[in-house]
Amino acid sequence: MINLAMKRRIWSCRARFSYALNPAVQGPTLSAPFSSHANLATFPEPDGWESQNLVPSGVVEDKDLLRKGGPNSKTGLYVLDLIDRSSLGPDPVLYIDLIKKCTNLNKLKEGRLVHAHLMASCFRDDLVMHNHMLNMYAKCGSLQEARKVFDEMPVRDVFTWTALITGYSQSDLSEDAVALFPQMLRADLKPNEFTLSSLLKASGVRVSDGFGRQLHGYCLKCGYISNVYVGSALVDMYSRWEKIDEARSIFDGLDRKNEVSWNALIAGHARMGEAELALSLFSEMLRADFKPSPFTYSSMFGALSSMGFLEQGKWVHAHMIKSDPQLSTYVGNTLLDMYAKSGSIDDAEKVFNRLLRRDLISWNSLLKGYAQHGRGRKTLEQFEEMLSIGVKPSDVTFLSVLTACSHVGLVKEGEHYFQLMRRYGVEPQVSHHATMVDLYGRAGLLDQAKRFIQNMPMEPNAAVWGALLGACRMHKNMELGAYAAERMFELDPDNPGPLMLLSNIYASAGRWSEVAMVRSMMKVNQAKKEPAISWVDIENSVHTFVANDDTHPQREEIRKMWEKVNTKIKEFGYVPDTSHVLFYADQQEKEERLQVHSEKLAFAFALLNTPPGSTIRIKKNIRVCGDCHSAFKFASKAVEREIILRDTNRFHHFRDGSCSCRDYW
C-alpha cells in the first residue's frame, strides 16, 4: 500500500524533475528579486511583522504548526522561516497552501515573499509551482508579474496558458486575453473548456468582429458546447453584442442549465432595458426551480428601474426578502436605485438607511435620487454628511450636487461646489461645465452662462450648447438660442433636439415663418422627433400611450374623462398654454391638439382605473411639455390626486396645486 507520505514523496520527486525531462531546457533564469534567498530583504515587510518575537528557536518538527500560520499579514514570513528550520524537508503541499491563501486573500506582498522563497528551494524549476505563482499574481491583479512568470517559464502547459488568459480576461484586458489564443494554438496546446469560457468572456466585451463566432465554432467542433460554463459564457457574449435571440437559442440548447446561465440571459435583457422579458424570465427561472442569486436580483432591479416599474420592483424585492433577508451593499445599491428611478424616493432612502455598509455607489445613487426628485436642499445636506464621515466624493457625486443646485436655483452654492471639486482631486469634466451652464441659464443669467462657456478649459460639446439652448428657450432669448442651436447642430447633426428646441423658441414667440424654416431644415436632414410615449402602471400591468392615440380600446372613456378634468381645472384657473404647440394653427385647433398629449391620455386612463385618492405614477420618454405641467398642477388639486411624473431625467411631484420642481426644470 502506498500511504499518503509516500505519495507525497513520489509527487515531490516528479515535481522536482519535471523540467529535467528535456535536458536541453535550462531552468528559468530568474532575475532579482526572485533569484536568491538573500533578496528576501528587498521585499517590503508586511504590516506588523516582528520576526524576533515570532520565530521559535530550534528545529521545528510539527507540520501543523507550519500549516497554521497563513500569509494573513504578519505570519507570512514566519511560516517561511519555519520551513527553513524544520527537519521535515520542503513540502510542496505546504507551499501550495501558502500560495492559495495569498491568492484567495489577495495578499500580493506576502505572495511575493512565498515566490522568492520558493525560487530558492528545490521547487524553483517546478511547472506546477510556477502555475500557482502565475495564478496568484493574476488573481491579485498584478498582470505584469503574472506575465513575467509566464515569459520566464521554459515549459508551459494548458494550465499556464489558461491562468494567464483568465487573468487578463478578469482584469478587463480582453485584447491581451484574445491575443494569446492563436499563440497558444501555435504552441501546440489545445484550449479546453476552462480556457474557452475565459476567452468567450473576453470577446463579449470587445466589439463583435468574428473572433467570438470563431470561438463559438471551435466550441462546437471540440465538443465543449454542452458544457455549462462554456454555454453560459456564450449566452453572455451574444447578449452583450445585443444578439439576444442567439443568446436565447444557445440557452435553450443547453442540456444542463444552472443559475449562471439564467443570470446571463436575464442580465442580457436587463442591459437592453427589456423589463417585461426580464420579468417573465425571472418567473420562468422560479418555475424551473432555480434559486435567484444576488446577481439575478441586481440585474432585475436594473431592468425594472430603467422602465420605472415600481410595483414589479416591489414584488421582486419581497421575493428577495423571503428567500434571503441579508442585503448586500451591491444588491442594496441596485435596489435603492430602482426605488429612486421608479419614483419612490422615500423607499430609496429607507434602503439606504438599512444598508450595513455603504460605499461610494450607495451615496452617489442616493444623491442622484434626491437631485432628480427636486430635493435640492436634501442633496446638499446628505453631501455634507458624506464629506463629514470621510467618504471621498467622485465626479459622479459632484454631478448630482451641481444638478441639485441647478434645479433648485442655488447659484452661489453651485459655484462653491464647483470650486470644491479640485480640493477633492476631482477634475471638472465637460459634463460638470454643462451643468454649470444649466445652473446659470435656468437662473436667467444668460450672459454669465455665455461667459462661462467662453472661459471653459476644454471645447464645449453638444451638451453644453444644449444647456444654453434650453435656457434660451426658457427665458425666450432668440438671438442666443439660435446661436446655441447652430453650434449644437454642428456637433451633433443626427440629434433632432436642437432644431426641435429652436422651433420651440420661435413658436413661443409666435414667429411662424422661422418655425417653418427650421422644420424644413429638419426634413432636409431627415431629423425626426422621437415619438412621445407615456406609460402608467395599473395593478401589475403597464399601459402605454402615444399622442393622438385613437386605437386604445377605452379611447372614448379616456376622452370623456379628460374633457371632464379639463372643464374642472379651467374652473380652478387653468389656461391652456398654446405656445408649446409647434404647428401653425388657429387657436381652437391648437387647444385641441394639447388635449391629446400622451401624458394627458395616461392620466385620464389612470383616473378611470385606480381607486380615488391613490397616487398616480406616469412615466414619459421625453421632457414634459409646459402645458401638461400646468394642467397637472391644477389637476392634482381639482381631482385630489398626487401625481408623480417621471421625465427624461427628473421627477415632478404634483400635489395640491403645485409641483416639487417649483416650475423650475
Partner DNA sequence: ATAGGGTTAG
* First-last CA distance in the chain: 83
* Closer residue to DNA, CB minimum distance, 57 or 648: 648
Choose which of 54, 155, 158, 516 interacts with DNA (CB under 7 A): 158
Region from 110-118, 329-337, 453-461, 538-546 binding DNA, contact rule CB under 7 A: 329-337
Residue 232 interacting with DNA (CB under 7 A)? yes
Please, which residue, 233 or 518, has the CB nearer to DNA?
Answer: 233
Write down how long the chain is: 665
Distances (CA, A) of 399 to 372, 405, 427, 428: 12, 10, 12, 9
Q: Which one of 80, 233, 437, 594 is in contact with DNA (CB under 7 A)?
A: 233
Tell me: does residue 360 bind DNA (CB under 7 A): yes
CA distance 162 to 146: 12
Q: Is 177 in the site for DNA (CB under 7 A)?
A: no
446 binds DNA (CB under 7 A): no
Site for DNA contains 258 (CB under 7 A): yes
Total number of residues that touch DNA (CB under 7 A):
73
Report CA Rg, the chain.
32
Residue placing its CB nearer to DNA in the complex, 225 or 618: 225
The rounded distance, in Å, linking the Cα atoms of 189 and 529 is: 55
Q: Is 379 in the site for DNA (CB under 7 A)?
A: no
Pairs from 303-306 (Cβ < 8 Å, separation ≥ 24): 303/266, 303/269, 303/270, 303/273, 303/274, 303/275, 303/278, 303/279, 304/275, 304/278, 304/279, 304/338, 304/342, 305/334, 305/337, 305/338, 305/340, 305/341, 305/342, 306/270, 306/273, 306/275, 306/341
Among positions 86, 263, 312, 344, the unique one binding DNA when judged by CB under 7 A = 263
Between residues 81 and 438, which has the closer beta carbon with respect to DNA? 438
Site membership for DNA, residue 331 (CB under 7 A): yes
Residue of 228, 482, 491, 522 interacting with DNA (CB under 7 A): 228
Cα gap 129→34, rounded to integer Å: 14
Q: Between the CA of residue 373 and those of 367, 378, 436, 620, what are the distances in Å?
A: 10, 10, 19, 15
**Cα distance between residue 137 and residue 103, in whole Å:** 8
Candidate list 140, 163, 184, 527; residue touching DNA; CB under 7 A: 163
Single residue of 296, 503, 504, 660 touching DNA by CB under 7 A: 296
Instruction: Kindly tell me which of 71 and 576 has the beta carbon lying closer to DNA.
Output: 71
Torsion of CA 12, 15, 16, 19, to 10 degrees: 170
Bond prior to 33 in cis (omega within 30° of 0): yes
Residue 86 in the binding site for DNA (CB under 7 A):
no
Interface with DNA (CB under 7 A), residue from 174, 203, 227, 508: 227
Query: Binding string, 382-401, against DNA, x = CB under 7 A?
Result: ------------xxxx-x--
d(C-alpha 500, C-alpha 524), whole Å:
14
User: Contact between 431 and DNA (CB under 7 A)?
Assistant: yes
Backbone angles phi, psi at 545, to 5 degrees: -135, 140
Q: Does 14 bind DNA (CB under 7 A)?
A: yes
Q: Closest distance between DNA and the C-beta of residue 264, in Å?
A: 4
CB of 162: closest distance to DNA in angstroms?
4
Cβ atoms within 10 Å of 50's Cβ, excluding its own: 11
Residue 276 touches DNA, criterion: CB under 7 A? no
Nearer to DNA by Cβ, of 333 and 636: the residue is: 333
| 477 counts as binding DNA under rule CB under 7 A | no
AA letter at 147: R
